[in-house]
């Protein structure tokens, strides 16, 4: 299973990063809702900003390798 994930990560690095951010955001929103019974919408902007930063970082690393 771990080898399959590494292969997927190597073949689709951008999709992998987006998938990680979506899953982490959903888990964070679920925990926030379960604890405080509240939804903080501004957290989505932070997640979007961080995802863009990490996508740019990944893009720069990919260009540096080639």
Contact 62, 21 (CB under 8 A): no
Whether the per-residue pLDDT at 66 is higher than 80: the answer is: no
Backbone angles phi, psi at 65, to 5 degrees: -70, -35
pLDDT of residue 18: 92
Contact 30, 45 (CB under 8 A): no
pLDDT of residue 39: 81
| Residues whose CB is less than 8 angstroms from the CB of residue 31 and which lie 6 or more positions away in sequence, other chains included | none
Quick: pLDDT tens for 5-57. Answer: 999 999 999 999 999 999 998 898 888 889 998 887 777 888 889 999 999 99
pTM: 0.76
More confident residue, 46 or 66: 46
Minimal CA–CA distance to 36: which of 28, 48, 25? 28
SS3 of 15, please? Answer: helix
């Amino acid at each position: 299973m771990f080898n399959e994930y590494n292969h997927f990560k190597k073949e689709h690095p951008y999709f992998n990063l987006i998938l990680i951010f979506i899953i982490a955001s959903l888990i964070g929103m679920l925990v926030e809702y379960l604890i405080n019974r509240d939804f903080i919408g501004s957290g989505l902007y932070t997640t979007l900003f961080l995802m863009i930063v990490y996508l740019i970082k990944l893009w720069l690393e990919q260009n540096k390798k080639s």
